[in-house]
Structure 1
Amino acid sequence: MQQPIQPSCAASAPPARRRLAPQVRVAQILDAALVEFSERGFAATTMDDIGRRCGLSKGGLYAHFASKDVIFEALLHRSLAPPEWQEPPVPPVEAGTRAFAQWLVDRLYAGLLERPAAVVTLRLLAAERGRVKDLVELWEHNVVRPNMALLADMLRTHAARLGLPPSVIVREPWLVIAPVMYALLTQMILGHEPAMGLDCLRSSHVELLCELLDPRERIASENAHQNGL
């Protein structure tokens, strides 16, 4: 008599859930939350919605984040946080300001414009500003202001080291990030990069910082050119 076919263990057993590293799982949760917040709005999105989007149970989601407010704050930190400034390089004095300006621009572009979620998060922030006012103010106080103060200190240190004359950009360090914010707003509102392209914007940004920090190099170069040197 023919024996009945026994189902294999592989066919009957549910697929094993992969255990991911916490940082990978957190990134998945934030990606899912950004989609849900953008599609539904912050108020209408629930933790269940976020959990379903990233394939986690409610318990699994709460193991990483206590609430959607905490998730929103984490999104701000991930996508719109200023660069984590490290000690800037100390080039030879003869290198002038250009190496320092290039270092600043490289850090800013890597920290903001090269983050794919930055524009989406900025758009979400503009739409939900009134609903998450306390979170935004906390983010500004704990993240934005300290980073701007650190940037101001670096500018003052550089100017003092090279004996540069007083400059508006040392007094107003927000001017350093203005071109980056222009690019982010252009992408957010118009849906495309600035007309000149990011490479041209980056190059012009370096020139702007050099001019504001120390125009003497440009003036000396122009004088030499006029004198035929």
Structure 2
Amino acid sequence: MIRNDISAASPGVSEPCPPRRRLPAVTRVTQILDAALHVFSDKGFASARLDDIAAATGLSKGGVYTHFASKEEIFGALLKRLVQPVPAAPEPLADDEPVTVDLLVSRVVEPMYQSFGDASVLQAVRLLLADGSRAPQAFGQWHQTMFEPHIADVACLLQRGVQQGTLRNSAITREPRLILSPGIHAMLDCVVRGAAAPDAMSAWERLHVAMLRELLTP
């Protein structure tokens, strides 16, 4: 008599899959953006599909839609995460603290050059140059929520320094974007040539600081 062992696996019957672990939304968003950066960098914004991003993340397309409504929204979130003017918001100044060139260097220039050592920042700039015009809404949102407030903060610092007599009124104090121009030039050089050698980037920064001292010292 043949014994019927119900504990043995029957041919053609697979073991039940363990339930998928539910990750926090913040973790999922980070995974999606990490995958999207590689997909956009590899395929370009126009050719990339949500299916590609979902596959690279290990999610279904519906799983991506849980966190982002469109490819454009993902692109905008990438810009916000990667292309930040400064690594972190500096502490507010005391009411009586003078705005000097040294203070501008420590709060504006040095953080800018420090960010250039992050490969993901250069990847984001490449995305902007290659595909920014294909996602004007995403770029406009980043510009409005990230770049313009930073420039407004720099403008306030410059005007405060002029009023205090610690900065000379010049083209830079009248057009605050100019304070970033040498750094942007250095960043574009990195994008074109690849990551710059630390010595070369230090040379860029020294020239940037020297220019500010010549134009802003009373």
Q: Which amino acid in structure 2 is aligned with residue 101 of structure 1?
A: V
- The question of whether the paired residues in 2 share the 8 Å contact of 1:159 and 1:213 is answered with no
- Counterparts in 2 of 1:164 and 1:186: CA distance versus 1, 3 Å: closer
Q: Which amino acid in structure 1 is aligned with residue 35 of structure 2?
A: A
1:173-212 aligned at under 5 Å gives the runs 173-193=176-196, 196-212=199-215
- The question of whether the paired residues in 1 share the 8 Å contact of 2:82 and 2:121 is answered with yes
Residue 130 of structure 1 aligns to a residue in which SS? helix
Whole-angstrom CA distance in 2 between matches of 1:96 and 1:82: 20
- The question of whether the paired residues in 1 share the 8 Å contact of 2:100 and 2:166 is answered with no
Which residue among 69, 91, 106 is the counterpart of 1:66? Answer: 69
Whole-angstrom CA distance in 2 between matches of 1:96 and 1:153: 13
Q: Deviations over 1:60-97 (max 9, x none)?
A: 2111111111001111111113225434545965x953
Whole-angstrom CA distance in 2 between matches of 1:72 and 1:101: 31
- Counterparts in 2 of 1:134 and 1:147: CA distance versus 1, 3 Å: same
- Counterparts in 2 of 1:195 and 1:85: CA distance versus 1, 3 Å: closer
Q: CA deviation at 1:3?
A: 10
Q: Which amino acid in structure 1 is aligned with residue 33 of structure 2?
A: L
**2:90 paired with 1:86:** yes
- Counterparts in 2 of 1:6 and 1:89: CA distance versus 1, 3 Å: farther
Whole-angstrom CA distance in 2 between matches of 1:102 and 1:185: 22
Q: Which amino acid in structure 1 is aligned with residue 109 of structure 2?
A: V
Single out whichever of 12-21 and 126-135 deviates more from structure 2: 12-21
**2:35 paired with 1:32:** yes
- Counterparts in 2 of 1:21 and 1:106: CA distance versus 1, 3 Å: farther
Match of 2:110 in 1: 106
- The question of whether the paired residues in 1 share the 8 Å contact of 2:101 and 2:167 is answered with no
Which residue among 96, 101, 106 is the counterpart of 1:97? Answer: 101
Residue 192 of structure 1 aligns to a residue in which SS? coil
The count of aligned residue pairs is 210
Q: Deviations over 1:33-67 (max 9, x none)?
A: 12111222222221111011011122221111111
**Runs of 5+ in structure 1 lacking a partner?**
217-229
Match of 2:169 in 1: 166
Match of 1:227 in 2: none
Which residue among 17, 20, 27 is the counterpart of 1:17? Answer: 20
Q: Deviations over 1:157-216 (max 9, x none)?
A: 1332344331221112112212321222112111231684223333443333333221x5
- Counterparts in 2 of 1:24 and 1:165: CA distance versus 1, 3 Å: same
Whole-angstrom CA distance in 1 between matches of 2:171 and 2:132: 31
- The question of whether the paired residues in 2 share the 8 Å contact of 1:88 and 1:103 is answered with no
Residue 134 of structure 2 aligns to a residue in which SS? coil
- The question of whether the paired residues in 2 share the 8 Å contact of 1:187 and 1:194 is answered with no
CA RMSD of aligned residues (A): 3.0
Match of 1:119 in 2: 122
Match of 1:226 in 2: none
What is the percentage of aligned positions where both structures have the same residue?
Answer: 34
Match of 1:57 in 2: 60
